[in-house]
Structure 1
Amino acid sequence: MTVCLMVGAALLALPTPDFTLRWTHSVEKIDWVESWRINGQSLTLTGVKIKGSGAGMEPADDAKLENGWWVWQPNTTVPKLTLAASGATGSGWHFCTDSGCQDLGTTASAAITVKPCP
């Protein structure tokens, strides 16, 4: 069974409903990783981990420190994600599935929308 996800104008067939987004905070230079799951026509944030804290990078109250990462499970559901693509952060978004990874938003362009296929 495959799951369809729209990333910008591209349709991606995913082997599982799970994917991750990883990026480095543009000011604090701290790594941030989010785990997502496609649930029908919505996306559920199932896990977050950050490699430190700083302005706008505070771990949740229930976060636990594991191997140098603050880790927690927010279980938040949204209809879509909008990823800024300023090109000014030094890197974009690292989008990964079981099939592999690709970088998004590494150059200045319009925001990238990530949502389940209709």
Structure 2
Amino acid sequence: MNLCLASAGVVKTLAVAAFTLVWTHSIEKTAWQEDWRVTPQGLDLVQARVKGTGAGMEPPPEARLVDGWFQWTPKRKPLREVVLANSGLAGEWRLCADGQCRTLSQIIGHEIGPQPTTMSACPE
């Protein structure tokens, strides 16, 4: 399976079966991470982590504190697509796979700015 990223008329295909989405909360300036798998059913959120708590970012009751991160396994079905908004207030979304992290602008090949980016499993 491949991951497709679409933003401002550009579509990029990444040959990854799993990746981590990383960002900073725009108000609390706290790190978030989500581990995703690309499946035939869509994008499957495997684990979520947040490096603290604050306004609008409370971890769920089942979260456990591990090495300074609240971690939990979301219980939801795979999503057909995920739309990432970019407020510009906390830096850019980063996608990490195979030991390398890149911003969405680096992956797309031009500055994303306020344009949303849509992630999906690429059609076969």
How far the C-alpha of 1:99 sits from its partner, in A, is 5.5
**Structure 1 segments unaligned to the other structure (5+ residues):** none
Q: Is the 8 A contact 1:47 1:75 kept in 2?
A: no
Larger relative contact order, structure 1 or 2 (CA cutoff 8 Å, min sep 6): 2
TM-score under structure 2 length normalisation: 0.83
Query: What RMSD, in angstroms, separates the aligned Cα atoms of the two structures?
Result: 1.6
Instruction: Please list every run of at least 4 consecutive aligned residues from structure 1 whose deviation after the TM superposition is greater than 2 angstroms.
Output: none
**Structure 2 segments unaligned to the other structure (5+ residues):** 106-110
SS at match of 1:96: strand
Instruction: Please list the CA deviations of residues 27-86 of structure 1 after superposition, one character each: whole Å capped at 9, or x if unmatched.
Output: 011100000011114111000010001111110110001111100011422111101123
> Partners in 2 of 1:109 and 1:93 — Cα distance?
12
How far the C-alpha of 1:13 sits from its partner, in A, is 1.6
Sort the Cα spacing of 1:7 and 1:107 in 2 relative to 1 into closer, same or farther, 3 A: closer
Counterpart residue type for residue 59 of structure 1:
P
* Corresponding residue number in structure 1 for 2:13: 11
TM-score under structure 1 length normalisation: 0.87
Identity among equivalent pairs (%): 39
Q: Are 2:115 and 1:110 aligned? A: yes
Aligned residue pairs, count: 113
- Matching of residues 52-91 of structure 1 within 5 Å: 52-76=52-76, 77-86=78-87, 88-91=88-91
Counterpart residue type for residue 116 of structure 1:
A
Q: Is the 8 A contact 2:86 2:113 kept in 1?
A: yes
> Partners in 2 of 1:90 and 1:29 — Cα distance?
7
